[in-house]
Amino acid sequence: MRKIPEPKPLFLERMKSLLGKDFNNYMEILKHEPVRSLRTNTLKITPEKLKEKLEKKNWIIKQPFKEYPEIMIVENDLNPGELGRALEHLLGYYYIQELASMLPIIALKPKPDETILDLCSSPGSKTTQMASYMNNSGIIVANEVSLGRIKILASNLERCGVTNTIIAKKDGIALCERLKKENFQFDKILVDAPCSGEGTLRSTLKTYLMWNIKTIKSVSRIQKNLVSSALDILKPNGELIYSTCTHAPEENEEVIDFIMKKFNNIKIEKISLPVKPREGITKW
Protein backbone atom coordinates (compact mmCIF):
# COMPACT_ATOMS: atom_id res chain seq x y z
CA MET A 1 0.00 0.00 0.00
CA ARG A 2 1.24 3.48 -0.81
CA LYS A 3 -0.04 7.02 -0.52
CA ILE A 4 -1.10 8.63 -3.78
CA PRO A 5 -1.64 12.32 -4.57
CA GLU A 6 -5.23 13.53 -4.32
CA PRO A 7 -6.73 13.35 -7.83
CA LYS A 8 -8.38 16.46 -9.19
CA PRO A 9 -12.17 16.63 -8.60
CA LEU A 10 -12.98 16.68 -12.33
CA PHE A 11 -10.88 13.55 -12.88
CA LEU A 12 -12.78 11.73 -10.11
CA GLU A 13 -16.12 12.89 -11.51
CA ARG A 14 -15.22 11.62 -14.98
CA MET A 15 -13.96 8.26 -13.72
CA LYS A 16 -17.10 7.73 -11.62
CA SER A 17 -19.20 8.35 -14.72
CA LEU A 18 -17.03 6.06 -16.84
CA LEU A 19 -16.61 3.15 -14.42
CA GLY A 20 -19.89 3.17 -12.51
CA LYS A 21 -19.96 0.39 -9.90
CA ASP A 22 -16.30 -0.43 -10.57
CA PHE A 23 -15.08 3.02 -9.46
CA ASN A 24 -14.30 2.07 -5.85
CA ASN A 25 -12.31 -0.97 -6.99
CA TYR A 26 -10.40 1.27 -9.39
CA MET A 27 -9.46 3.72 -6.63
CA GLU A 28 -8.30 0.86 -4.43
CA ILE A 29 -6.14 -0.59 -7.21
CA LEU A 30 -4.43 2.78 -7.66
CA LYS A 31 -3.01 2.46 -4.14
CA HIS A 32 -0.93 -0.54 -5.19
CA GLU A 33 2.08 -0.62 -7.49
CA PRO A 34 1.71 -2.48 -10.81
CA VAL A 35 2.86 -6.08 -10.94
CA ARG A 36 6.48 -6.54 -12.00
CA SER A 37 5.99 -7.87 -15.51
CA LEU A 38 8.50 -8.59 -18.23
CA ARG A 39 8.54 -9.98 -21.74
CA THR A 40 11.08 -12.56 -22.85
CA ASN A 41 13.10 -11.37 -25.83
CA THR A 42 12.86 -14.52 -27.92
CA LEU A 43 15.44 -13.14 -30.35
CA LYS A 44 18.04 -14.01 -27.71
CA ILE A 45 16.61 -16.63 -25.37
CA THR A 46 13.69 -19.01 -24.93
CA PRO A 47 11.14 -18.44 -22.16
CA GLU A 48 12.17 -21.73 -20.58
CA LYS A 49 15.84 -20.78 -20.33
CA LEU A 50 15.06 -17.27 -19.08
CA LYS A 51 12.73 -18.61 -16.39
CA GLU A 52 15.47 -20.98 -15.27
CA LYS A 53 18.01 -18.16 -15.04
CA LEU A 54 15.68 -15.87 -13.10
CA GLU A 55 14.65 -18.59 -10.67
CA LYS A 56 18.32 -19.14 -9.87
CA LYS A 57 18.26 -15.55 -8.57
CA ASN A 58 15.49 -16.65 -6.20
CA TRP A 59 12.89 -14.73 -8.18
CA ILE A 60 9.42 -16.27 -8.10
CA ILE A 61 8.32 -16.38 -11.73
CA LYS A 62 4.75 -16.83 -12.93
CA GLN A 63 3.69 -17.19 -16.57
CA PRO A 64 0.05 -15.99 -16.48
CA PHE A 65 -0.90 -16.86 -20.07
CA LYS A 66 -0.35 -20.41 -21.31
CA GLU A 67 -0.50 -19.32 -24.96
CA TYR A 68 2.09 -16.57 -24.36
CA PRO A 69 4.90 -18.16 -22.30
CA GLU A 70 7.19 -15.21 -23.07
CA ILE A 71 5.13 -13.05 -20.67
CA MET A 72 6.29 -13.34 -17.07
CA ILE A 73 5.49 -11.82 -13.68
CA VAL A 74 7.98 -11.58 -10.82
CA GLU A 75 5.84 -12.28 -7.77
CA ASN A 76 8.27 -11.68 -4.92
CA ASP A 77 9.55 -8.31 -3.72
CA LEU A 78 12.75 -7.02 -5.30
CA ASN A 79 15.14 -4.28 -4.29
CA PRO A 80 14.51 -0.90 -5.96
CA GLY A 81 15.87 -1.01 -9.51
CA GLU A 82 16.81 -4.69 -9.29
CA LEU A 83 14.69 -5.67 -12.29
CA GLY A 84 16.48 -3.14 -14.50
CA ARG A 85 19.99 -3.77 -13.14
CA ALA A 86 19.89 -7.53 -13.58
CA LEU A 87 22.46 -8.96 -16.00
CA GLU A 88 19.70 -10.67 -17.95
CA HIS A 89 18.09 -7.30 -18.61
CA LEU A 90 21.34 -5.63 -19.61
CA LEU A 91 22.02 -8.49 -22.04
CA GLY A 92 18.61 -7.99 -23.65
CA TYR A 93 17.11 -11.28 -22.52
CA TYR A 94 13.96 -9.51 -21.39
CA TYR A 95 12.14 -6.20 -21.72
CA ILE A 96 10.45 -4.62 -18.70
CA GLN A 97 6.94 -3.98 -19.96
CA GLU A 98 3.52 -3.67 -18.35
CA LEU A 99 1.00 -6.32 -19.32
CA ALA A 100 -1.39 -3.80 -20.89
CA SER A 101 1.43 -2.50 -23.08
CA MET A 102 1.89 -5.95 -24.60
CA LEU A 103 -1.72 -6.32 -25.73
CA PRO A 104 -1.66 -4.14 -28.89
CA ILE A 105 1.06 -6.27 -30.49
CA ILE A 106 -0.68 -9.48 -29.48
CA ALA A 107 -3.73 -8.12 -31.31
CA LEU A 108 -1.68 -6.97 -34.31
CA LYS A 109 -0.12 -10.43 -34.81
CA PRO A 110 3.02 -9.33 -36.73
CA LYS A 111 4.29 -11.92 -39.20
CA PRO A 112 7.87 -12.44 -40.48
CA ASP A 113 7.21 -11.41 -44.09
CA GLU A 114 5.31 -8.20 -43.36
CA THR A 115 6.20 -4.52 -43.66
CA ILE A 116 4.97 -2.71 -40.55
CA LEU A 117 4.95 0.91 -39.41
CA ASP A 118 5.25 1.82 -35.73
CA LEU A 119 4.25 5.46 -36.06
CA CYS A 120 5.02 6.65 -32.50
CA SER A 121 7.62 4.13 -31.44
CA SER A 122 9.86 5.27 -28.56
CA PRO A 123 10.92 3.88 -26.13
CA GLY A 124 10.62 0.71 -28.20
CA SER A 125 8.69 -1.74 -26.04
CA LYS A 126 6.21 -2.54 -28.80
CA THR A 127 8.82 -2.25 -31.58
CA THR A 128 11.00 -4.89 -29.93
CA GLN A 129 7.94 -7.03 -29.28
CA MET A 130 7.08 -6.86 -32.99
CA ALA A 131 10.63 -7.77 -33.97
CA SER A 132 10.63 -10.81 -31.70
CA TYR A 133 7.31 -12.06 -33.11
CA MET A 134 8.67 -11.48 -36.63
CA ASN A 135 11.92 -13.28 -35.75
CA ASN A 136 13.87 -10.29 -37.10
CA SER A 137 12.39 -10.84 -40.59
CA GLY A 138 10.32 -8.48 -42.70
CA ILE A 139 10.67 -4.74 -42.15
CA ILE A 140 9.65 -2.43 -39.31
CA VAL A 141 9.77 1.33 -39.74
CA ALA A 142 9.96 2.82 -36.24
CA ASN A 143 9.18 6.52 -36.30
CA GLU A 144 9.84 9.01 -33.51
CA VAL A 145 9.82 12.80 -33.72
CA SER A 146 12.03 13.49 -30.67
CA LEU A 147 15.80 13.06 -31.02
CA GLY A 148 16.14 12.41 -27.30
CA ARG A 149 13.56 9.64 -27.45
CA ILE A 150 15.19 8.23 -30.60
CA LYS A 151 18.36 7.68 -28.58
CA ILE A 152 16.36 5.64 -26.07
CA LEU A 153 14.67 3.73 -28.90
CA ALA A 154 17.98 2.96 -30.62
CA SER A 155 19.51 1.81 -27.33
CA ASN A 156 16.66 -0.62 -26.69
CA LEU A 157 16.75 -1.98 -30.24
CA GLU A 158 20.49 -2.60 -29.94
CA ARG A 159 20.18 -4.18 -26.49
CA CYS A 160 17.51 -6.55 -27.75
CA GLY A 161 19.38 -7.49 -30.94
CA VAL A 162 16.75 -6.10 -33.32
CA THR A 163 18.01 -5.99 -36.92
CA ASN A 164 14.87 -5.67 -39.06
CA THR A 165 14.01 -2.10 -38.02
CA ILE A 166 14.61 1.25 -39.71
CA ILE A 167 14.38 4.33 -37.47
CA ALA A 168 12.76 7.45 -38.90
CA LYS A 169 12.75 10.89 -37.29
CA LYS A 170 9.73 12.84 -38.47
CA ASP A 171 6.42 14.20 -37.29
CA GLY A 172 4.02 11.28 -37.66
CA ILE A 173 1.54 13.10 -39.88
CA ALA A 174 4.30 14.53 -42.08
CA LEU A 175 5.86 11.07 -42.47
CA CYS A 176 2.56 9.60 -43.62
CA GLU A 177 2.06 12.42 -46.11
CA ARG A 178 5.56 11.91 -47.52
CA LEU A 179 5.11 8.15 -47.86
CA LYS A 180 1.71 8.68 -49.49
CA LYS A 181 3.36 10.82 -52.18
CA GLU A 182 5.82 7.98 -52.79
CA ASN A 183 2.95 5.46 -53.02
CA PHE A 184 4.50 3.47 -50.16
CA GLN A 185 2.10 1.28 -48.18
CA PHE A 186 2.31 -1.01 -45.17
CA ASP A 187 0.78 -4.40 -44.40
CA LYS A 188 0.13 -3.33 -40.82
CA ILE A 189 0.40 -0.12 -38.82
CA LEU A 190 0.57 0.54 -35.09
CA VAL A 191 -0.56 3.96 -33.88
CA ASP A 192 0.32 3.87 -30.19
CA ALA A 193 -0.59 7.50 -29.90
CA PRO A 194 0.63 10.19 -27.52
CA CYS A 195 -2.07 10.60 -24.89
CA SER A 196 -2.97 12.04 -21.50
CA GLY A 197 -1.56 8.96 -19.75
CA GLU A 198 -4.42 8.30 -17.33
CA GLY A 199 -3.60 4.60 -17.43
CA THR A 200 -0.10 5.20 -16.04
CA LEU A 201 -1.19 6.71 -12.72
CA ARG A 202 0.22 3.80 -10.70
CA SER A 203 3.67 3.98 -12.27
CA THR A 204 3.85 7.74 -12.91
CA LEU A 205 2.34 9.55 -9.95
CA LYS A 206 3.05 13.00 -11.42
CA THR A 207 0.27 12.28 -13.92
CA TYR A 208 -2.17 13.17 -11.13
CA LEU A 209 -0.71 16.66 -10.93
CA MET A 210 -0.34 17.19 -14.69
CA TRP A 211 -3.84 16.00 -15.61
CA ASN A 212 -6.20 18.55 -17.17
CA ILE A 213 -9.10 18.49 -19.61
CA LYS A 214 -7.34 20.82 -22.07
CA THR A 215 -4.63 18.21 -22.63
CA ILE A 216 -7.24 15.56 -23.34
CA LYS A 217 -8.96 17.69 -25.97
CA SER A 218 -5.64 18.70 -27.53
CA VAL A 219 -4.23 15.18 -27.86
CA SER A 220 -7.58 13.90 -29.13
CA ARG A 221 -7.21 16.15 -32.17
CA ILE A 222 -3.65 14.91 -32.71
CA GLN A 223 -4.75 11.29 -32.39
CA LYS A 224 -7.50 11.71 -34.99
CA ASN A 225 -5.03 13.25 -37.42
CA LEU A 226 -2.43 10.53 -36.81
CA VAL A 227 -4.87 7.69 -37.47
CA SER A 228 -6.36 9.45 -40.51
CA SER A 229 -2.90 9.96 -41.99
CA ALA A 230 -1.84 6.38 -41.23
CA LEU A 231 -4.88 4.91 -42.96
CA ASP A 232 -3.83 6.67 -46.16
CA ILE A 233 -0.70 4.48 -46.34
CA LEU A 234 -2.26 1.18 -45.30
CA LYS A 235 -2.50 -1.51 -47.98
CA PRO A 236 -5.94 -2.77 -49.04
CA ASN A 237 -6.99 -5.44 -46.51
CA GLY A 238 -4.24 -4.18 -44.21
CA GLU A 239 -4.67 -3.86 -40.45
CA LEU A 240 -4.18 -0.89 -38.15
CA ILE A 241 -4.09 -1.04 -34.36
CA TYR A 242 -4.87 2.16 -32.47
CA SER A 243 -3.89 2.13 -28.80
CA THR A 244 -3.44 4.54 -25.90
CA CYS A 245 -2.56 4.29 -22.22
CA THR A 246 -5.49 6.40 -21.08
CA HIS A 247 -9.12 6.00 -20.03
CA ALA A 248 -10.51 9.21 -21.57
CA PRO A 249 -13.32 8.44 -24.06
CA GLU A 250 -12.25 11.50 -26.08
CA GLU A 251 -8.96 9.70 -26.79
CA ASN A 252 -10.41 6.25 -27.37
CA GLU A 253 -14.00 5.66 -28.48
CA GLU A 254 -14.36 9.21 -29.81
CA VAL A 255 -11.30 8.75 -32.04
CA ILE A 256 -12.68 5.47 -33.41
CA ASP A 257 -16.10 7.06 -33.97
CA PHE A 258 -14.47 9.94 -35.85
CA ILE A 259 -12.45 7.58 -38.06
CA MET A 260 -15.39 5.32 -38.86
CA LYS A 261 -17.42 8.33 -40.00
CA LYS A 262 -14.55 9.77 -42.05
CA PHE A 263 -13.59 6.60 -43.93
CA ASN A 264 -16.14 4.37 -45.67
CA ASN A 265 -13.67 1.64 -46.63
CA ILE A 266 -12.68 0.38 -43.18
CA LYS A 267 -14.22 -1.91 -40.58
CA ILE A 268 -13.58 -2.81 -36.95
CA GLU A 269 -12.18 -6.30 -36.47
CA LYS A 270 -12.78 -8.56 -33.50
CA ILE A 271 -9.54 -9.31 -31.66
CA SER A 272 -8.51 -12.10 -29.33
CA LEU A 273 -6.66 -11.17 -26.14
CA PRO A 274 -5.49 -13.27 -23.17
CA VAL A 275 -7.40 -10.99 -20.76
CA LYS A 276 -11.05 -10.02 -20.43
CA PRO A 277 -11.39 -6.32 -21.32
CA ARG A 278 -14.15 -3.92 -20.34
CA GLU A 279 -16.76 -3.23 -22.99
CA GLY A 280 -16.23 -0.04 -24.98
CA ILE A 281 -18.70 2.76 -24.35
CA THR A 282 -21.21 4.00 -26.95
CA LYS A 283 -22.17 7.33 -25.39
CA TRP A 284 -20.47 9.94 -23.20
Mean pLDDT by 10 residues, the chain (284 residues): 77 94 93 93 99 98 98 95 98 98 98 98 98 99 98 99 99 98 98 95 82 96 99 98 98 98 96 90 87
Q: Where are the domains of the chain?
A: 22-96, 103-262
pLDDT of 110 reads: 99
Catalytic annotation on 120? no
Entry pTM: 0.95
Burial class (CB in 10 A: 0-12, 13-18, 19+), 25: exposed
pLDDT of 237 reads: 97
User: Do residues 259 and 227 make contact, with C-beta atoms less than 8 angstroms apart?
Assistant: yes
pLDDT of 73 reads: 98
CATH 3.30.70.1170 fits 22-96, yes or no: yes
pLDDT of 1 reads: 62
pLDDT of 163 reads: 99
Catalytic residue, candidates 120, 160, 195, 245: 245
Quick check: do 22-96 and 103-262 share a fold? no
Looking at the domain 103-262, which fold is it? Rossmann fold (3.40.50)
pLDDT of 140 reads: 99
